[in-house]
Amino acid sequence: MRLLVYAGNLYKGGGVQVAVNFLRSVIERGGEHEWLCVLSTQLAKEGQWPGRLPHARFATLEEPAGHASRLLFRAARMRKIEAEVHPEAVFTIFGPPYWWPRAPHLCGIATPWLWSPHSLAWSRLEWRQRASKTVSNWLKMAGLCSSRWNYVVETASARSALCRYLRKPPERVHVVSNAPSQPFYLARERAFVEVADLQAEAFRFLVMAADYPHKNLDFVPAVADALRRVTTQHFEFLFTLPTPSWTRIVRRAESLGVLRHVVNAGPTNVADCPKLYQRAHALFLPTLLEAFTASYPEAMLMRRPIATSDVAFARDICRDAAIYFNPLDASEAARACEALMVDHALRRKLIVEGDARVTAFPRPDRKFAMYVDLLSRIGGRRCGHPKRIGESVCLGNGSEAEGAVLAGEASRERR
């Protein structure tokens, strides 16, 4: 099959991670099909993507400045690319794409704000934020509106909610679970530092999350303040934030007198994320809303215990592999953290439960096969004599995209 993959709209968070994993699988396992993969400039920096392979090409969608013009630019360029390549199916890794392919289309959705109108995250928004999010959701729903598209989400509960709230027919909504990326499996196979053997002056909680409102990161300094009142052991919360977001956390920590308990590793690319888990004793995630964060299975695979929010989506994913707390109660969260710090038996129990639970999530090769199977089912063969993937395609400002993706490593915000 001739397949067009659209990832030109992904710049941060878990969507970048999923895209990187998928694109690596195209290189390693996609030889039975022809692929044209269109990347954002951030994705282009996430790995050393070859410009051209016998079965695939990778091209970067360069964009002008300005939010509105970017959306219009993407739509115009992608329509032109589709007309030139004539794919048998199009895969938008995460939408909405804000363009409507003519070919059969599989669109990934990982925006829980769309189907969670009664979540804790909504209750924490100020009225201006709530109004802004309502408009944003309306635009996203409009961008996902097509009776011809198929959709893919990461959990069965998200599938049910999508069908219920967005009125999508069940036969057009599919499930492919999220899972740890290949670097985590490689790190697991190699020797790595166990929690019990980790030498550090402080007990380190990894806060592996991008700075979205539903991640509840401003809550962490309050937890640090409550935790220092119940333990004499030194501890740290390790963030992965860019400077603007980190500056806000620092101000909050300073006001509570807990600056020494928060540290920042900065944005980290996908390949280097296992090293952060190796530096940490546990994962701390006070999230209010998720579709499916890969941080949970990543921590399980790296054999780190988890402290996270006592909400339905977290329990669905982690089950007995986590200790839970109210994400709006700093004292309760601090007690959960203290339990992990002092109770070796509890840490061991959560690690063992995680070892069992992580086997339920597909490995990268199986996940890629599930995506390809969906594309094959919705695509089929199309007639005509389209341009082959190996020929040049017009991208950017009208230039030919011959090996348009630049090699290199760059950073990103995590989930």
Residues in a beta bridge with 219: none
Confidence of residue 15 (pLDDT cuts 50, 70, 90): confident
Query: Do 98 and 141 reside in the same domain of the chain?
Result: yes
Query: Do 223 and 284 reside in the same domain of the chain?
Result: yes
SS3 41: helix
Closest CA to 354 of 205, 195, 224: 195
Domain boundary among 310, 329, 360: 360
SS3 150: strand
Is residue 57 exposed (0-12), middle (13-18) or buried (19+ Cβ within 10 Å)? buried
Q: Does 347 map to a domain?
A: yes
- Structural domain that includes position 258: 182-360
- 39-to-9, 61, 225 alpha-carbon distances in Å: 8, 6, 42
Q: Between residues 97 and 67, which one has the greater pLDDT?
A: 97
Query: Do 207 and 289 reside in the same domain of the chain?
Result: yes
Given this model, what pLDDT does residue 86 score? Answer: 94
Q: Which CATH number do you get for residue 203?
A: 3.40.50.2000
Cα angle for residues 287, 224, 129 (degrees, 5° grid): 40
Query: Distance (Å, rounded) from C-alpha 53 to C-alpha 257?
Result: 55
- 392-to-60, 84, 96, 382 alpha-carbon distances in Å: 13, 9, 26, 21
Query: Do 321 and 188 reside in the same domain of the chain?
Result: yes
Q: Does 408 map to a domain?
A: no
Q: Does 241 map to a domain?
A: yes
Given this model, what pLDDT does residue 207 score? Answer: 97
Query: Do 323 and 211 reside in the same domain of the chain?
Result: yes
Please compute, for residue 200, the number of CA atoms within 13 A of its CA located in the half-sphere on the CB side. Answer: 20
Q: Does 313 map to a domain?
A: yes
What's the whole-number mean pLDDT along residues 35-41? 94
Query: Do 122 and 260 reside in the same domain of the chain?
Result: no
Choose the weakest-confidence range: 248-262, 317-331, 336-350, 391-405.
391-405
Given this model, what pLDDT does residue 409 score? Answer: 33
* DSSP E strand stretches across 348-397: 394-395
Is 2's pLDDT higher than 60? yes
Choose the weakest-confidence range: 3-17, 221-235, 255-269, 315-329.
3-17
Choose the weakest-confidence range: 67-71, 139-143, 268-272.
67-71
Task: Say if CB 177 and CB 367 are below 8 A apart.
Answer: yes
Confidence of residue 400 (pLDDT cuts 50, 70, 90): very low
Query: Distance (Å, rounded) from C-alpha 400 to C-alpha 333?
Result: 54
Q: Does 270 map to a domain?
A: yes
What's the whole-number mean pLDDT along residues 291-304? 91
What's the whole-number mean pLDDT along residues 318-342? 97
SS3 307: strand
Query: Do 254 and 354 reside in the same domain of the chain?
Result: yes
What are the residues whose beta carbons fall under 8 Å from the beta carbon of 184, sequence distance 6 or more? Answer: 273, 274, 298, 301, 302
Query: Do 203 and 348 reside in the same domain of the chain?
Result: yes
Choose the weakest-confidence range: 117-121, 209-213, 262-266.
117-121
Query: Do 168 and 115 reside in the same domain of the chain?
Result: yes
Residues in a beta bridge with 368: none
Given this model, what pLDDT does residue 183 score? Answer: 83
Query: Do 285 and 153 reside in the same domain of the chain?
Result: no
Query: Do 218 and 321 reside in the same domain of the chain?
Result: yes
Closest CA to 85 of 393, 405, 326, 367: 393
Closest CA to 120 of 313, 253, 296, 319: 313
Confidence of residue 217 (pLDDT cuts 50, 70, 90): very high
Query: Distance (Å, rounded) from C-alpha 154 to C-alpha 141?
Result: 18
> β-strand 150-153 against 105-108: which pairing, if any?
parallel
What's the whole-number mean pLDDT along residues 74-84? 93
- 16-to-139, 212, 319 alpha-carbon distances in Å: 21, 15, 26
Choose the weakest-confidence range: 35-49, 211-225, 248-262, 298-312.
35-49
Query: What letter does residue 21 receive in the DSSP assignment?
Result: H
Query: What letter does residue 197 receive in the DSSP assignment?
Result: G
Summarised one tens digit per residue, pLDDT across range 183-196 is 888 887 765 656 65
Q: Does 355 map to a domain?
A: yes
pTM of the predicted structure, to 2 decimals: 0.83
Given this model, what pLDDT does residue 97 score? Answer: 93
Confidence of residue 67 (pLDDT cuts 50, 70, 90): low
- CA-derived radius of gyration, the chain: 22
Q: Does 412 map to a domain?
A: no
Given this model, what pLDDT does residue 120 score? Answer: 83
What are the residues whose beta carbons fall under 8 Å from the beta carbon of 89, sequence distance 6 or more? Answer: 1, 3, 4, 103, 104, 105, 106, 375, 376, 378, 379
- 282-to-98, 253, 346, 366 alpha-carbon distances in Å: 39, 20, 12, 28
Query: Distance (Å, rounded) from C-alpha 216 to C-alpha 224?
Result: 14
Percent of the chain with pLDDT over 70: 88
Query: Distance (Å, rounded) from C-alpha 257 to C-alpha 95?
Result: 41
Task: Say if CB 17 and CB 270 are below 8 A apart.
Answer: yes
Query: Do 136 and 228 reside in the same domain of the chain?
Result: no
Summarised one tens digit per residue, pLDDT across range 114-165 is 888 778 888 888 888 889 888 988 888 888 888 889 999 988 888 988 888 7
Given this model, what pLDDT does residue 391 score? Answer: 44
pLDDT averaged over the chain? 86
Domain boundary among 311, 339, 360: 360
Number of domains in the chain: 2
Closest CA to 277 of 306, 250, 249, 253: 306
Query: Distance (Å, rounded) from C-alpha 153 to C-alpha 176?
Result: 6
Would you report the helix, strand and coil content of the chain in percent, each value rounded to 5?
A: 45, 15, 40
Task: Say if CB 23 and CB 43 are below 8 A apart.
Answer: yes
